[in-house]
Structure formats: C-alpha cells, structure tokens
Structure 1
C-alpha cells in the first residue's frame, strides 16, 4: 500500500519527460489541427474585443462627456455595443470549436489507451493495482483533454491579452507601465510559480488517493 500523500517516483517527470508527453499528446491532436487553429483565431478576436471595450469607455468619458461631444459619445456607445455582440458571437463559436476538437482528442486517446491496456498480459495486472489503472485512465486522460481544450488556448489568449494590454498602457502612460512591470509583475510571477508547483503535488496526491480508494473498493467487493 502506498503511503498517503506521497508522490511515487514514476509520477515525477523532469522537463525532458514532460516535453515528450506533450509531444505525444499533440500527435493525437493533429487530426483536429484545423479546428484548433480556428479556435486560436477566435481567441485572438475575443482578446481584441476585451481590450477594445475599455478603449471605447475611455473615449466616451474623456471626449464624449468630458469634451461635451454628443457625436463622439454616440460613437463610443455604438462601438462598445458592437464589441459586446462580436465578443458574444465569437465566444460561442470558440466554445463549439474547442469542444469539438477536445472531445475528438479525448475519444481517440481513450480508445488508444484501452486497446493498449487490453493487450497487456495477466502478469501486468498482477503487478499493477486496478484502482490505480482506472484512476490513470480517467483523471489523467481528462487532464490531457483539458490541456487541449482550454490550456493551450488560454495560454495563447493570456499571452495576446498581456501584449495588447502592455502596448495600450505604454500608449496611455509609460510611467505607470514602468511601475507595474517593476513592482507588480514580479509578485505575480512568483505567486504563479509557487501555485503551479503546489498544485502539481496536490494533483498527484489526489490521483494517488483515488487509486487507493478504487483498489480498496475492488478488493472489498
């Protein structure tokens, strides 16, 4: 029986092994690359809409209301409304594209893993607990599907949003941008790294406990 809360050595992946796992996962996503690229394009449009919204608000407040210009205020209102509508429509299309690619990836991966498992000898099942195998076939595959469905696209969207926001901040006030980069960004970076490390350990711990519970349930039945 494994020690509760411990992470086995085989679950510890270095950077090379992590890269190999990601490359193998991306091979399963190759049949859906057109849908994924479409989702990336839709994410880019959504990011532009997110950045454009505050710009129209600023235009309406500064030049519309502050400058006593009804025409400018009307332009800002219409532009903001169009941005919301476009963001909603593109968001729905993005959701459909992401889920179509993700569910197809999930189906192919599950079929491949199940075929590989069925081809194993009886000695393999004697050496490995059924609960652990079930846990890996469910939790791990779901995690890979979430990576393809949302992880990569969120990474692209967050990167584009960061770049566009920095460009806009520099255009508005380079002094404030410098303060944010020097004082706020390091704090967020350190917090993100610590969260990633602790969440990875917690995920492996949860997966191990689920495997133990399934093994105990099978042995009890």
Structure 2
C-alpha cells in the first residue's frame, strides 16, 4: 500500500512540475521560480528529511531541483519574438508601383538597388518608362556607383553601354568631363531598359532604347 502511495505521490509531483513549466511563461518569473526551486530542493533534502519521509514524497527535493534547473535553462522559451525589420523597400516613404511593373526577383532586386543607391521618390509612380537620370535625378558619381552596383549584382555584359550618353561625369573628374563634351542632351535611361538588359544578360543600346 505504501509503495502504491509513493508512486501516486511521484506521479502527482511530476504532474505539478509539468504544470508549473507550462503556466510560468514570463522570462523573469521563470527565472525567479527556477531559483526558488533550485534552492528549495537541497533545503528540503537536508532539513526536512523526517517530514518528507512521513509524507511519502521522497522524490520532492529532486523534482523541485530538476524543475528549477529546467525553468532557468529555458527561461526565454516563451519570449515573444520581435518581428524582423521590414524589407528596405517596405520602409520606403511610398512605393507607388505602376500595374505594368513586373513582379519578379529581378525587378525586386533592381528596385532594391534603386532604393539603396539613389533613393525612391516619395510621391511618384514608378513605371518601366521612369528614367533614372531624368525622373529620379541620378547623375555624376551617383550614377557611376549605381551602374557598377547593377553590373555586379546581376553580372551581365555592359556591351556598348556609354555612360556619357545618359549621365554627366563626376564634377571632379576633369578628364571624363572633357570626353563627355559634345554628347548633347542626355538620353533617358529607363527602368525598363535596365530590366530588359538584366533579363537578356546583355546591353545593346539600340535595341534597349528602341524597345523602351
């Protein structure tokens, strides 16, 4: 009979320990309850031996100690995960995209580069016909850096790409400014041209400008 009572007591203690583990979810509370149980285990074992024996809960100190350790180790188990920061494009002031703008990884990455290198407009709809040099004001050193970023990101052949056809050279580069003289009015370099060059993995000026 006593043996049966011991098993019943053990099962009840384990059930209580499991219940505590499930109910106590706040990290701070799990920490303090865990510390209390870790300290209470040895105290019960050495200072309340007679009471434990008489109550037939010999496993109480061990279960208290183990439960306390489990709570301390897993104190952050139920901590609410902070939502990951939104994609940079979603943090942009406005993202007015035209319905005909493709929604594929290449266009998303291109828009991402535009956002990082140039900055997307606050109140302007982005279209395939949007010219990054005229409509978005990309020019000079910024344009050079942007085109290098596009070339590196998509690893496509620039072919007969002529930067001076679309952009003014950096103001500090006298040699390039001399080479750019006589190029006349700049030709629009559109998002559609960049997108098509990325999709075809090459730059053909006449084809891109005609299609654009």
Q: Same fold (TM over 0.5)?
A: no
**Higher Cα Rg, which structure:** 2
TM-score of the superposition, structure 1-length normalised?
Answer: 0.25
Q: Which has the higher contact order (CA 8 A, sep 6+)?
A: 1
TM-score of the superposition, structure 2-length normalised?
Answer: 0.25
